[in-house]
Amino acid sequence: MLIKSLCLVLSGIYFQNILFAQNINNSFFNNTPAIEMSMNGKTSLTNNNLTWNPHNYTYYIAGSDTIASYIASYDAMGDFITVDTFDARLKGIWYNTTLDFLEAYNVNDNTCVSFLLNDEGEFVGQDFDIELADLEEEGTSVFPIYNSEREVYVYFEPVAKIIIEVEPFSGEISHYISFPLSVGKNEIVEDQILFTDMKASPYAIVNRKNKSLFLINYEGQIVQEVSWPMINFEPIRFAWTNGALWLLNEQTLTWKAYAIR
């Protein structure tokens, strides 16, 4: 019951399509974090990201150092379970609900890596790697994500200001989405795009200048701009999973989840 209650608290809600909203919504997120999680025993990591496994109620945090990449597991309350080490240089992590795999982007060879999990969410093997088209030059700076609604991998190309969707089995580009952006690329988090799982605005781009997010629909329209929750730290990484916005504190390497109001 406790796990189900927590999932309900962090579940996404859908909003009416308000095209090209001019005002920033300052009350979109709760200001008190619902969960806090940090990489157990690791104090200096890059390529940090996290995801939620809805099948066994498990969170996974990924990060890398100069030696290896690590994926730590946590239960639905944010309590640490274990950490596994991998030779690949992982960047970006997501749960592929279509194939029932935990997946990550391996910068070393420009592939999507799929991990096999048992019913308890523990790693039991590795399945296949898919080379992602057009990411070879971008690979050191881009965090791909997974869109569970369209069943595609997605990344953001900041120079052209386009969202690129990639077919997961072939690794080929299937769709482009261009959209207007009123700020320069140096004012946004240009290596990340977030999948919100909201019908009216499935994608989000982080605006560092305004401390906000642009919520974008499939037609490339900015549905609305929403403020970050009120925080006392400068986040270095962002994620959107299990119906909440997650912000990473650089000083403590702690992820904090802020649910939608």
pLDDT of residue 119: 83
State the residue for tokens 């609604």.
Answer: 149
SS (H, E, C) 28-63: CECCCCCEEEECCCCCCCEEEEEEEECCCCEEEEEE
The total of other beta-carbon atoms located within 10 Å of residue 135's CB is 24
pLDDT of residue 59: 96
Residues 6+ apart with CB under 8 A from 216: 163, 177, 179, 201, 202, 203, 204, 205, 222, 223
Asked if residues 174 and 165 have their Cβ atoms less than 8 Å apart, the reply is yes
- DSSP secondary structure string for all residues of 51-114: EEETTTTEEEEEEE-SS-EEEEEEETT--EEEEEEESS-EEEEEEETTTTEEEEEETTTTEEEE
Q: Which residues in the chain come in under a pLDDT of 70?
A: 1-22, 41, 43, 128, 132-141
State the residue for tokens 């305004």.
Answer: 210
Q: Considering the entire predicted model, what is its pTM?
A: 0.85
**Which three-class secondary structure state does DSSP give residue 187?**
helix
> Tokens standing for 30?
């709760």
The total of other beta-carbon atoms located within 10 Å of residue 206's CB is 24
State the amino acid at position 205 in one-letter form: I
Measured CA angle at 20 (ends 177, 190), to 5 deg? 50
pLDDT of residue 110: 78
pLDDT of residue 101: 87
Domains and CATH numbers, the chain: 2-259 (2.120.10)
pLDDT of residue 171: 78
The total of other beta-carbon atoms located within 10 Å of residue 254's CB is 15
